[in-house]
Amino acid sequence: MAAPHVYSMGHQQLVVSSTAVGLTVPTGKQPHRALIYVGADDVRWRADGTVPTASIGVLVGDGNYLDLTAPGGDFAQLITNIRFIRVTTDATLDIEYFS
């Protein structure tokens, strides 16, 4: 059986500051995965609909990746709920979306 094809569906660069921000899904076909690189500073995130703070949320360090997937078609809900905030200074997220 052949491996499933994975296609890039778009890229987003997002500055994360002292106000929590969410992701913007590319228009068109619904992605099922996002690979997120954190640069310039650490960030915290929450995906339960609650806004993270600089001290509350899942910590992702500068130079690390966050791989978001949601089996079973729940990716749209995950992307709608997830929010990021910087820990100390502004951070940059480079996000690549995949089908």
Residue 15 maps to which CATH number?
2.60.120.770
What single string gives the DSSP state of each residue in 16-43? E-SS-B---PPSSSPPSEEEEEEESS-E
Does the pLDDT of residue 9 top 90, yes or no?
A: no
Type of residue at 67: D
In a domain, 2, yes or no: no
Q: Per-residue b/e over 60-73, b at no fewer than 16 CB within 10 Å? A: bebeeebebeeeee
Is the distance from CB of 18 to CB of 95 less than 8 angstroms? Answer: no
Q: Name the domain count of the chain.
A: 1
CA torsion, points 49, 10, 67, 76, in degrees to nearest 10? 30
Domain holding 71, by residue range, is 8-98
Residue 3: per-residue pLDDT: 57
In a domain, 54, yes or no: yes
In a domain, 34, yes or no: yes
In a domain, 29, yes or no: yes
Q: Which range is most confident: 17-26, 50-59, 69-78?
A: 50-59
